[in-house]
Amino acid sequence: MQMNLNAHPVYISITNHSITVEFTEYVLQHDIDIMLVTESWLYNDDHVVIGECTPPGYSFLNIPRPSGRCGGIAVLFKSQLQLRLRSTTITTTYFEFACITDNVGLLNLVVIYRPPPSPINGFRQSDFIVEFDSFMDDVVLFPGQLLLAGDFNVYWDEQDRSDVKQYSSIIASASLHQYVTVPTHRSGHILDHVLCCPDENFIQDFSVHENPLTWHHCVHFKLNLAKPVPQRVTQTLRNYKSIDGAAFSQALTDHLNPIPNVNNPGELYNWYNGTVSDCLDEYAPSETRTRTIRNRQPWYNQTIHTARQDRHRVERKWRKSRSESDSQKYVTARNNVTKRIVEAKQFYYSDKLSGANTKTVFQTVNSLLNSKVKPLPVHNDPKDLGNKFAQFFKSKIYRFAKNLNLHVKMSTPLSLLTVALGLAKFSPSFAT
């Protein structure tokens, strides 16, 4: 399973649309299964930005800073993994964290962002060490495989520092190992860490990808877990375009004449359905095919595909040479991909909305706004609201049955078509 620690301020909550495009492009380019982001700068109501940052086939968990600006943690993952936030009573003051687990509890990811001490926040190195020591006493008790990753802002490359020694001692006492050994910041320091038990061969293939657009680099690694299997669907299809219209019409006429003399509508329906199916099997035989579901955006075109290929070629050259000129070419190629995507999206949605009916307009706008939750009517008590819903549908069924009783003799008296009402609990949930 390909995993990425994007431990740097992505600034995806700002209004610059190109940043969200670059974010999703990076995820798709490297086929990342789980993307961990620290200092996301997202808020609870940033639904539009979250929607733009979530490619098809992925899900997004947003854990904003409880109060104030900046900070925040985000996790982007392939939807088949079915990750969720793990509820915990642990609280911290000097760093932010999010506990992520799967449905069966085999994996426990703890994403950490620790703001660097400064006169503004008043944090001290000793405060973090004490709190992190207590924090580790709790998280090591989580069942399943434990992995901690994030921006710790601990200078791991300076092992003589007292805070690094204390931090290393805490990690060792928890039987964990810090895997990142190369600089993860432009300053040349190792500030982003990945902690896991070293005896289980759980983490493999470490690499750090320098990013010329940000101060922090991206840490890539693989987990010894099964990669999400692409979804496949089996369909039975007919090639109706290959049918000779005149010949098929004549065949139907021949097969449907004469109509059998039967009084049972069901028998007549079965005869008609079977006759038409036999004709279709002769002129357009059914074929069963299994295909892999490809999550492609509707605005994707050949221009974007060509720009991506050019970006990939320039990036390989830059990572090999590390020259300033190749770095600038890579940035230019990357910006070109972003530009082409923005233009394609603008053209696609402008064209779609120009001649759309009201329903399509609302569906498209809701999709762009990432508006998935349908609000309930204003209410004070969920149980009372549920009973009102039940009463509405009971009355509707009763009126329907009453009208039906005027024309058709019902086997069940209308007086018996009653439903006892009175919900003890009402907990609405919404599909996403």
Question: pLDDT tens-digit profile of 119-128?
Answer: 888 899 999 9
Rounded to an integer, the average pLDDT of 233-250 is 89
Rounded to an integer, the average pLDDT of 133-150 is 92
132, 197, 183: which is closest to 155 by C-alpha?
A: 183
Question: Does residue 203 sit in helix, strand or coil?
Answer: strand
Q: Which amino acid is at 272?
A: Y
β-pair partners for 38: 73
Which residues in the chain are classed under CATH 3.60.10.10? 2-223
Please state, for a pLDDT cut of 90, what percent of the chain lies above it.
43
283, 207, 205: which is closest to 244 by C-alpha?
A: 283
CA distances from 199 to 145, 148, 164, 175 (A): 12, 16, 23, 9
Q: How confident is the model at residue 259 (pLDDT cuts 50, 70, 90)?
A: confident
Pairing outcome for strands 84-85 and 96-101: antiparallel
Distance CA 281, CA 275 (A): 10
pLDDT of residue 413: 54
* Residue pLDDT, tens place only, 52-83: 889 988 999 999 998 877 889 999 999 988 99
Which position has the token pair 């620290």?
A: 38
Residue 289 has pLDDT above 60, yes or no: yes
Question: Does residue 56 sit in helix, strand or coil?
Answer: coil
Pairing outcome for strands 203-209 and 192-196: unpaired
* Residue pLDDT, tens place only, 165-189: 999 999 999 999 999 999 999 899 9
Q: How confident is the model at residue 260 (pLDDT cuts 50, 70, 90)?
A: confident
Distance CA 329, CA 338 (A): 14
Distance CA 250, CA 234 (A): 33
Polymer length in residues for the chain: 432
Question: Does residue 73 sit in helix, strand or coil?
Answer: strand
Q: How confident is the model at residue 7 (pLDDT cuts 50, 70, 90)?
A: very low
pLDDT of residue 404: 62
pTM for the full predicted model: 0.72
Distance CA 49, CA 19 (A): 10
Rounded to an integer, the average pLDDT of 249-255 is 90
Residue 11 has pLDDT above 50, yes or no: no
CATH for 2-223, among 3.50.50.60, 3.60.10.10, 3.40.1410.10, 3.40.190.10? 3.60.10.10
5 and 218 Cβ atoms separated by less than 8 Å: yes
Rounded to an integer, the average pLDDT of 133-140 is 95
Residue 14 has pLDDT above 50, yes or no: no
Rounded to an integer, the average pLDDT of 326-341 is 92
Which string of DSSP letters, residue by residue, matches 122-164?
---HHHHHHHHHHHHHHHTTSSSEEEEEEE----TT-TTSHHH
Query: To the nearest whole number, what is the mean pLDDT of the chain?
Result: 85
